[in-house]
Amino acid sequence: MSRRTQKLIIIVSVLAVILLFSFFLKDILVPYIGLEIKNDTAGATELLRDKGVLGFLTVVFVEALQMVVVFIPAEFIQISSGLSYPFWLAVLLCDLGVCLGATLIYLLVRLFSFNTNAYDKNRDLIDRLAAGGKKERSVVLLLYFLFIMPLIPFGAICYYASGKKLRYAPYIRTVATGVIPSIVTSNLMGAAGKFFIRNELPLPVLILIIVLLGGLLFLALFLFLDKVYFKENDGTPDSVIYGAFFKLVGLLRGKKQRLHLDNAAMDEVEKPYVLLCNHASFYDFYYVHKLIRGDRAALVVNKHIVDKPILGKLSKKMGLIPKKLFNPDMASTVGMLRAVKAGYPLYIFPEARLSITGVNYPIIEKSGGFCKKLGVDVVLARIDGAYQANPKWRKRFYKSDIRVSVRRVIKKDELNGMTAEELDRVIEDAIRFDDNASPINSYRKKDMAKGLESIIYRCPDCGALYSTSTRGNTLCCSACGAEYHMEPDMTLTSPAGGRTTVNELYSRIAAMERAELHKLCLEAPVHTVIFSDGKPRKRRERGFCRLTGEGFFYRSENEEFAIALDKLPALPFSVDTEFELYRGGDLYYFYPDETKRQVTRWALIVDLFKEEHDGKQNR
C-alpha cells in the first residue's frame, strides 16, 4: 500500500472520529449530563432509549477508529461512555470497539502491509520492553504486559502484534481480555463522574476517587511486572523498579532543565563499558542515564542510601551497587565486577562528593587500576551547567541549560598500553570542569545567593568566622561590612569593584585555614546517629567531637575512639546539617548542636590535612 493511501486512511479515520465523537457529545453526553444535574432520571433514561443502537454504535466505532489512528487517546470515549451508560454496558461497548479496531488493524497489516508514523513513534519503546526480559517471552504474554503498560496506545500494540506470527483467534482473544483493566479504570472514572453529578459530591472527593482508581491500575501493573514478567531481573538494572525510577525522575526534572547531549561517540563503545564523570549536582545520575541513551547501567551509590529501610529495598531491586565512601569496601568491588561480567555498563562518579564551588574535588580513590582490571571500554564524560542549576548550598533548582558530553572513549585495546597512573591522569583531565570560568546560564532571580553563607562561612576579606549572611543576591559580612553581589551568571562583584567567583572566595578561606592549620582545635557537642552493618535499627547518642593536627576524636557515654588523619581521607557533609565518617562497619552522622554551618569548616580542614599529607608523600 502506498504512503499516500495510508495517509488518506488515517485522515478519513481522524475525521470520522471527530464527527462521531462530536455527535455523541452534542446529542447524547451533554444533554444527558444536563438531565442528570436536574435530577431528571426519567428524562435521562428516555434520552438513552431514544438514541438506542445509534449511541451504542458511536461508542464502538469511535473506540475502533481511534485505535487505527493511534495518536487519539481512547480515554475520551471510555470516560464518556462511563458517564452515559451503566458501568457493565460501557465496558462491553468499549471492549467491542477495541476488538473491532484490532481486527481492522490486523487486516490492514496482514493484507496491505499498512503502517503509520504514529506507530513508529512507539515502536522503539515497545521493542525495548519486548527485549526487557532475559528469557524469551511468548507474544501473548508480552501483549498482556503492554496492554497494562501506561502511555502505550492500544492501537500501537495491535500494530506490533499484527506484524508477528500470531493467528487471529489468540490475537483477538488476547486483545479482548488484555484491555479490560484499562477500560474498567476509565469507565469507573466516568461512573465516578456521574455519581458526582447526581449526588453533588465535593470536587476533592471526585479527584480522590479518580486518583485511587489510577493507583489501583498502577498497583496491578507493578504486581504483574514484578512478580511475572520481569521476575528474573529482580536485583539488576533490567528490573521494573529501575525503569520506573528513571521515568519518575524524568517527569520531575524534565521541565526544570534543558538537556544538551553530545554522545555521538557512544556509537563506537562496546558493551559492557565503564563510564566515569564529574559530580556537579545531585541529579548527575539522571543526566548520565540520558547521555548513555537509557542503557541499563549499574550505578555505584553511597551505601547509606542502600541501607535505609524503604530506599534500601528499592535500591537492591534496581541493582544499585553500594559503596562505603572513602572506606575500603570489597563488597562494592565484587558488585562492580559481577555487574560487568553480567554485561551491564557501569557508571561511577570518582570524586564521590558533590561539588560545593563549581569545580572538581580531588579524586581520592583512583580509578585507573580498577578500570584496567575490568578490561572493558572506558567512557569519560563531563557535565557542565548542573552546578549552576542546583549548587549544593542552594535548595532551589533553577531551570537551566545543562550540557553532558562524552569527552573521550578509551577502547580496551588502548587501555592495555596505558599504566594505571597514566589512566588516572587522563581521567582527571577529561572530567575536569569549572562552571565559574565558563558559565552557560544566566538567571534573573531574587534569591541567587541564598545559602551561600553555608559555604563561605568565613569572611574572605577580614577572616571573621561565621560573620557572613545573605540578603537576596548579596553576601554580607557583619564584621567588616564587605558585600559581594551575585550577578546573573553567578559570578560575584567584589567590594573593590572587580569580579570573583564562589570558588575563588572558598580558596581564599582555605588559604586562611591553611595558615592556621596546626594551631586549630575544632570542638563541637553533637547529636550522633549510628548505622551498623547488618542491623536494621539506628542508634542515637549524645557525644563530643574534636579535630586537631593529631587526628579526629570522638567520645560519648557509650564509646570513645580516635582516627589518625592519614586514615581519614575526607569528611563528607550535608550543608547546614551534619558531617559523617565510617569506622569499621559503622557509619556515624554527627549533627552539631550549635552553628550548623560549621560542618563545612570541619570538611575543609580534613581536606587540607589530606592535601598536606599527599604533598609529603609525593616529595
The answer on 331 and 269 residing in a single domain is yes
The verdict on residue 210 lying in a domain is: no
What are the backbone dihedrals phi and psi of residue 559, each rounded to the nearest 5 degrees, phi first?
Answer: -160, 170
The verdict on residue 349 lying in a domain is: yes
- Which cell numbers hold the place of 409? 572513549
The verdict on residue 223 lying in a domain is: no
Q: If you search the block for the grid coordinates 445509534, which residue do you land on? A: 54
The verdict on residue 384 lying in a domain is: yes
Q: Choose the most confident range, by mean pLDDT, from 48-62, 200-214, 275-289.
A: 275-289
Q: Which residues, listed in sequence order, are joined to residue 493 by a DSSP beta bridge? A: 485, 499
b/e sequence 263-289, b meaning 16+ C-beta within 10 Å: beebeebeebbbbbbbbbbebbbbbbb
pLDDT, tens digit, 9 for 90 and up, residues 293-332: 888 999 999 887 776 666 777 788 888 999 988 888 888 9
Tell me which of 67-71, 106-110, 132-136, 469-473 is least confident: 132-136
pLDDT, tens digit, 9 for 90 and up, residues 523-553: 999 999 998 877 767 899 999 999 999 999 9
Which pLDDT score is estimated for 393?
Answer: 95
Tell me which of 74-88, 383-397, 407-421, 471-485 is least confident: 74-88
pLDDT, tens digit, 9 for 90 and up, residues 258-281: 999 999 999 999 999 999 999 999
Q: How far is residue 171's CA from residue 291's CA, in Å, rounded to a whole number?
A: 38
Write down which residue in 515, 532, 561 finishes a domain.
515
Task: Look up residue 458 and give its DSSP letter.
Answer: B
The answer on 130 and 189 residing in a single domain is yes
Q: Which residues contact 71 (CB under 8 A, 6 or more apart)?
A: 118, 153
The answer on 559 and 511 residing in a single domain is no
Assess whether pLDDT exceeds 90 at residue 179: no
- Residue 222 pLDDT level (bands cut at 50, 70, 90): low
Long-range residue pairs from 119-122, CB within 8 A, at least 24 positions apart, any chain: 119/70, 119/155, 119/156, 119/159, 119/160, 122/70, 122/152, 122/153, 122/156
Q: Which residues contact 159 (CB under 8 A, 6 or more apart)?
A: 70, 105, 109, 115, 116, 119
Name the more confident of 113 and 119: 113
The answer on 120 and 101 residing in a single domain is yes
The answer on 527 and 494 residing in a single domain is no
Mean pLDDT over 343-369 rounds to 94
* pTM confidence score: 0.72
Q: How far is residue 175's CA from residue 152's CA, in Å, rounded to a whole number?
A: 14
The answer on 295 and 418 residing in a single domain is yes
The answer on 484 and 555 residing in a single domain is no
Say whether 42 sits in a helix, a strand or coil. Answer: helix
Which pLDDT score is estimated for 351?
Answer: 95
pLDDT, tens digit, 9 for 90 and up, residues 357-366: 999 999 999 9
The verdict on residue 138 lying in a domain is: yes
Residue (of 259, 551, 301) closest to 405 by Cα position:
259
Mean pLDDT over 227-252 rounds to 76
Task: Look up residue 448 and give its DSSP letter.
Answer: T
Which pLDDT score is estimated for 433?
Answer: 95
The verdict on residue 222 lying in a domain is: no
Task: For the chain, state the CA radius of gyration.
Answer: 30
- Residue 135 pLDDT level (bands cut at 50, 70, 90): very low
Assess whether pLDDT exceeds 80 at residue 211: no
Q: Which residues contact 434 (CB under 8 A, 6 or more apart)?
A: 358, 359, 503
Assess whether pLDDT exceeds 80 at residue 282: yes
- Residue 207 pLDDT level (bands cut at 50, 70, 90): low
Tell me which of 235-239, 251-255, 511-515 is least confident: 251-255
Q: Choose the most confident range, by mean pLDDT, from 45-54, 143-152, 324-333, 553-562.
A: 553-562
The torsion angle over the Cα atoms of residues 240, 243, 249 and 251, rounded to 10 degrees, is: -100
Q: Which residues, listed in sequence order, are joined to residue 500 by a DSSP beta bridge? A: 492
End-to-end CA distance of the chain: 77
Assess whether pLDDT exceeds 50 at residue 178: yes
Assess whether pLDDT exceeds 80 at residue 130: no
Q: Which residues contact 524 (CB under 8 A, 6 or more apart)?
A: 544, 545, 590, 592, 593, 594, 598, 602
Which pLDDT score is estimated for 133?
Answer: 46
Cβ–Cβ under 8 Å, residues 354 and 392:
yes
Write down which residue in 203, 228, 250 finishes a domain.
203
Q: Order the strands of the 578-583 sheet from edge to edge.
A: 560-563, 551-556, 539-548, 522-532, 586-592, 578-583, 573-574
Which pLDDT score is estimated for 43?
Answer: 66
Which pLDDT score is estimated for 134?
Answer: 42
The answer on 249 and 193 residing in a single domain is no
- Which cell numbers hold the place of 461? 576579606
pLDDT, tens digit, 9 for 90 and up, residues 557-595: 999 999 999 899 999 999 999 999 999 889 999 999 999
**Count of the separate structural domains present in the chain:** 4
Q: How far is residue 586's CA from residue 610's CA, in Å, rounded to a whole number?
A: 22
The answer on 467 and 391 residing in a single domain is no
Say whether 223 sits in a helix, a strand or coil. Answer: helix
Write down which residue in 465, 489, 515 finishes a domain.
515
The verdict on residue 231 lying in a domain is: no
Q: What is the CATH number of the domain that holds 595?
A: 2.30.29.30
Q: How far is residue 176's CA from residue 95's CA, in Å, rounded to a whole number?
A: 6
What are the backbone dihedrals phi and psi of residue 234, each rounded to the nearest 5 degrees, phi first?
Answer: -60, 135
Neighbours of 84 (CB within 10 A): 25
Range of the domain at 313: 240-431
- Residue 499 pLDDT level (bands cut at 50, 70, 90): very high
Assess whether pLDDT exceeds 80 at residue 510: yes
Say whether 492 sits in a helix, a strand or coil. Answer: strand
The verdict on residue 584 lying in a domain is: yes
- What mean pLDDT, rounded, does the chain reach? 84
Q: Based on the number of CB atoms within 10 Å of its own CB, is 446 exposed (0-12), middle (13-18) or buried (19 or more)?
A: exposed
The answer on 153 and 24 residing in a single domain is yes
Mean pLDDT over 162-184 rounds to 84
The answer on 460 and 420 residing in a single domain is no
Say whether 435 sits in a helix, a strand or coil. Answer: coil
Q: If you search the block for the grid coordinates 545573605, which residue do you land on? A: 470
Reported residue count of the chain is: 619
The answer on 179 and 112 residing in a single domain is yes
Residue (of 529, 536, 543, 553) closest to 602 by Cα position:
553
Mean pLDDT over 57-76 rounds to 75
Assess whether pLDDT exceeds 50 at residue 423: yes
Q: Based on the number of CB atoms within 10 Å of its own CB, is 253 exposed (0-12), middle (13-18) or buried (19 or more)?
A: middle
Cβ–Cβ under 8 Å, residues 380 and 363:
no
- Which cell numbers hold the place of 146? 503492554
Cα-based distances in Å from 191 to 86, 206, 444, 449, 522 = 8, 10, 47, 51, 66
Which pLDDT score is estimated for 316?
Answer: 83
Q: How far is residue 337's CA from residue 344's CA, in Å, rounded to a whole number?
A: 10
Q: What is the CATH number of the domain that holds 348?
A: 3.40.1130.10
Tell me which of 101-110, 264-273, 368-377, 383-392 is least confident: 101-110
- Residue 404 pLDDT level (bands cut at 50, 70, 90): very high
Assess whether pLDDT exceeds 70 at residue 613: yes
Assess whether pLDDT exceeds 60 at residue 229: no
The beta strands (E) that lie in 343-460 are given as 346-348, 377-384, 400-410
- Residue 136 pLDDT level (bands cut at 50, 70, 90): very low
Mean pLDDT over 484-502 rounds to 93
Q: Based on the number of CB atoms within 10 Å of its own CB, is 32 exposed (0-12), middle (13-18) or buried (19 or more)?
A: buried
User: What whole-number percentage of the chain has pLDDT above 70?
Assistant: 82
Q: How far is residue 178's CA from residue 176's CA, in Å, rounded to a whole number?
A: 6
